[in-house]
Structure 1
Amino acid sequence: MNRSSLDFLKPMFVSHFSDYSILVINQTTQNNLLQSDYPSVRVINSFEKGLSKSRNMALQNAKGELCVIADDDIQYKDDFQEKILRVFNENPDTAIAGFRVVNPEGTLFKKYPKARLINPDTLQLLSIMSVEMVLNKTVIHDEIKFDERFGLGAQFTMGEEGVFIFGLLNRGFKIIMEPEVLLQHPKEHTNLKISVSEKYYVQGAFIYKIFHKNYFMWLFVKIFFDLKQGKIKFGDIKTAWRAAAKGKKDLNRI
């Protein structure tokens, strides 16, 4: 958002960023436009807000057949292109491949499958982050878009990756998880916390969007795991349940 220079691209790649085909969606104002002097780097200055809106604009205008969603705080490994090509040459009918990410210290960002998985189970699919995704536009074309009601800047501020992935899965597209490290990502900021009611307001909409008929079962599962991991307390259950119900109701109303 509000970039005035392409300098933020420099630390993202081992070689100069102009060696790559890049599309920047810069959400900004009309008096703060970003420009590119490199033929390989295209810029779209957008005057709308919302993470999912930005990603839909990127997918709609991307020229490449294989697309990565690149946050501006990551650093790609020097062989990331070769890894992507190898996976999709072996699996050309794959819509999305989810790769591994490491912390700056070189340790895995989270727990990943030890071997390649084709159409992983529900919990594994829900764990895929946008920076781990490589999208195959020759398979998905423009059929599936990010739901603009979800993601930063939208009414429901999280969950856009899961909604997108399950939209593909429910339409029969192939999704794989690949045990190859693609990039480095900084550790999550533990101080960025939201209240139980805010979190479960989004979760209620998210769970209903994805699981619909099994809404109550998956909401119970979510609450159970959050209790088990110490993310909420027993005294928070009533607040969480009511907030989820409001999120579900508001999604229906929209």
Structure 2
Amino acid sequence: MSIQVLVATMNQKDHNLLNEMNIQSDAIIANQCERNEIEELIFKGNHIKYLSFAERGVGLNRNNALMRAHADICILADDDMVFHDGYVKMIKKCFIENPHTDVIIFNIIENPKKRYVIEKKFKVGYHNYMRFGAARIAFRRKSITKCGITFNLHFGGGAEFSAGEDTLFLHDCLKNKLNILAVPEAISTLPNYRESSWFQGYTDKYFIDRGALFASITKRNAWLLCLQFAIRHRKMFKEAKNWYEAYNLMIKGIKEIKG
């Protein structure tokens, strides 16, 4: 069983990222920058491919890596992650122990905690998949490619709508009846808190983009997802908007998707 890390990054000028991330497996570094170049090298016995393209959009960046991946198991990563020693063995162990699972989501250790922490193993379904981001998702490559699953180019940093490419990826996995499992094992750490490249506060655009995301998930019931989000999370954004203002902005996002 082979393992390959697919890293989305920007403006890399050398190969130092491999040491910084503690890469211990084959990897593809998808580097959006100001040049077009493909490099291949051996790093600590592992095959590394650097894809440097003069373009923008995290969905496009992840797709560039995904379409060139060759391993049995791929894991999505951001460039601020540091992988733990032995992560390859841990990932293999989890897939061997769960032979019918197509996608496994791991924990990331961070301080302060920003991401959802998996405390015990559970099956991921339509009721809980939106809590996970792309970094820490591992999958059987053929399960994804046979279903034609890719990242939506309209969502995520550098795209038209600022976030949500990871949510849509997992939604497409569920829609294609792939089995997704969340496990409490941590395979990486975020040693330094880095400000989000897309979150600029609870602005009008934040809610418009959220509505567009919900419409991409389900055009028929997008308004209901907007309503539940506005009411359930109203305390989170109460300093910026009341729930009704947030709801109306999300409806505007639905209309943008529907044209």
TM-score for the superposition, normalised by structure 1? 0.86
Correspondence for 1:115: 120
**1:246 match: secondary structure:** helix
Alignment of 1:80-95 (within 5 A): 80-95=87-102
- Of the candidates 227, 232, 245, which is equivalent to residue 239 of structure 1? 245
Give unmatched runs, 5+ long, in structure 2: 1-9
Q: Of the candidates 148, 166, 174, which is equivalent to residue 169 of structure 1?
A: 174
Q: CA 1:109/1:79 → structure 2, altered by over 3 Å: closer, same or farther? A: farther
- CA–CA separation in structure 2 for the residues paired with 1:115 and 1:8: 31
Match of 2:76 in 1: 69
1:151-190 equivalence runs, <5 A: 151-185=156-190, 186-187=192-193, 189=195
CA drift of 1:35 comes to 4.2
Residues 64-98 of structure 1 show CA distances to partners (whole Å, capped at 9, x for unaligned) of 11111121111111121121111111223322111
State how far apart, in whole Å, the 1-side matches of 2:194 and 2:33 are.
25
Deviates more, 1:209-218 or 1:159-168: 209-218
Q: Residue 30 of structure 2 aligns to which amino acid in structure 1?
A: I
Shift of 1:45: 1.9
Asked if residue 250 in structure 1 is aligned to residue 256 in structure 2, the reply is yes
The residue type equivalent to 1:197 in the other structure is D
Give the match's secondary structure for 1:173. coil
From the two aligned structures, give the one with the greater strand fraction.
Answer: 2
Q: Which amino acid aligns with 2:11?
A: N
Residues 101-154 of structure 1 deviation map (CA, whole Å, 9 limit, x = unaligned): 111x5x7654434321123452x3111111120021132225101111111111
Deviation at 1:4, TM superposition (A): 1.2
Q: Percent identity?
A: 21
User: 2:142 matched to 1:138?
Assistant: yes
Structure 2: distance between partners of 1:10 and 1:234: 41
| 2:149 paired with 1:149 | no
Following the alignment from structure 1 to structure 2, what is the Cα–Cα distance between the partners of residues 91 and 161?
A: 23
**Structure 1, unpaired ranges of 5+:** none
Within 2, Cα distance between the matches of 1:4 and 1:114? 38
What stretches of structure 1 move > 6 A for 4+ residues in a row?
A: none
1:234–1:131 Cα change, 3 Å: closer
Corresponding letter in the other structure for 2:135: V
Deviations 1:186-216 (A, max 9, x none): 4353895334311111100111111332222
State the distance in 2 between where 1:55 and 1:190 align: 18
Aligned length: 244
2:29 to 21, 24, 39: 24
Match of 1:221 among 210, 223, 228: 228
Superposition pairs of residues 202-221 of structure 1, within 5 angstroms: 202-221=209-228
TM-score, normalised with respect to structure 2: 0.85
Partner letter of residue 126 of structure 1?
M
Separation in structure 2 between the aligned mates of residue 29 and residue 95 of structure 1, nearest angstrom: 35
**Residue type of the alignment partner of 1:157:** S
1:101 counterpart SS class: strand
Equivalent residue number for residue 4 of structure 2 = none
Equivalents in 1 of 2:243, 2:165: separation in Å? 24
Taking the aligned partners of 1:179 and 1:146, their CA distance within structure 2 comes to 25
The one-letter amino acid paired with 1:58 is: A
Q: How large is the Cα RMSD of the aligned pairs? A: 2.4
3-state SS of 1:126 partner: helix
1:112 aligned counterpart, secondary structure:
coil
Structure with bigger helix share is: 1
- For 2:202 and 2:120, how far apart are their aligned partners in 1? 36
Per the alignment, residue 13 of structure 2 pairs with 4
